Structure 1
Amino acid sequence: MRCQFWVLGEILFETSGRTDLESSGRLGIFATIAALMVNGVRRDELTDYSPFDDNDGCRSRTWLFLAYVIAFTSLAGSVGMLVQDALLPTTPSTWTGIAGVLQCFFVLSSGLMYWTSRASSDY
């Protein structure tokens, strides 16, 4: 997770004088929140299904769906910032857009790797 926050620091350093591109760092923060939300769901709750349960599976699936919505929204927003950086002639470089996409990708992929690699005894 350290790599993602170095990218966040680079984004904030590059956009320190410009207010129109500062949301790239915010999108990475939302990606971090989404990764934490994904890791809050136990895989056992998703695989075990009983029609007579007390909605634990439904709550877990809803929470995971919201986490994926936030994750892909932050990733789509960072790609939008990259396109905006590439198309506007007033921006000095597209590095902030590239850094935003890389940051969201690294945060979400590390959160997903951590979620899939945990055993059920780790909860």
Structure 2
Amino acid sequence: MGCLPSGLVDWDAVYSAIQPHATFAAGVLFGLAWWIWGDALVVSIALHGASFAPLSLLPGLGATAAVLLMNCVSRQEVAGEYLDEAATTRAKLLLLLSYLVSLGSLAGAVALLLAGAAGGGRAGGGGGGDTWVGASGVLQCCLVLASGMLCWFFHAEDSQLGGYSYL
């Protein structure tokens, strides 16, 4: 696989060792992401006197929507093992849409970080608190999307619970 010599790593053993804990780890990453953003917002308001800008909430909501879209599609649907060609194409398009939404939310978080660092056009400029909210927004998007990918990739395929071992 890739640049590693074949037979060096038993990927099936790695997958089976991680899979039972992946959904829990994805939930922890998701909760941590929103906690980091909320903490940065509260610190920005309390210590720097910034006001809440609802626009700073959008990248996290977009990343969350992308994760929801991503996890509506299973890997078997994308592979087309048991579906017809039209259903496989729909699954691939939904997965592509989730990737586009995730990239858009990440780009929005970076744009808010850059706007906060430049002062955001507000009177007084500076943007010290806004920079931390912007940086936490980028970190939030990355962690939410990592949790979604972890949950999607390590989905239990043969479970009666729709693929999630902890639900």
- Which TM-score tier does this pair reach, normalised by the shorter chain? 0.7 to 0.9
Match of 1:75 in 2: 106
Per-residue CA shift, 1:37-69, capped at 9, x if unaligned? 11110100111268x926110110111111111
CA contact (8 A) 2:40 2:136 kept: yes
Unaligned segments of structure 1, at least 5 residues: none
Candidates 4, 7, 14, aligned match of 2:36: 7
Q: Counterparts of 1:1-123 in structure 2 under 5 Å? A: 1-13=30-42, 14=44, 17-18=50-51, 21-48=53-80, 53=84, 55-88=86-119, 89-93=125-129, 94-122=131-159, 123=163
CA contact (8 A) 2:106 2:142 kept: yes
Structure number with greater CO (CA < 8 Å, separation at least 6) is 1
Q: How high is the TM-score relative to the length of structure 2?
A: 0.64
> Max radius of gyration: which structure?
2
Amino acid at match of 2:107: A
8 A Cα contact 2:37 2:133, kept in partner:
no
Write out the 4+ residue segments of structure 1 that deviate beyond 6 Å after TM superposition.
none
Compared CA separation, residues 10 and 26, structure 1 to 2 (3 A): farther
Identity %: 32
Q: Is the 8 A contact 2:36 2:136 kept in 1?
A: yes
The structure where helix makes up a greater share of residues is 1
> Residues 85 and 91 of structure 1 are in contact (CA less than 8 Å); yes or no, is this contact kept in structure 2?
yes
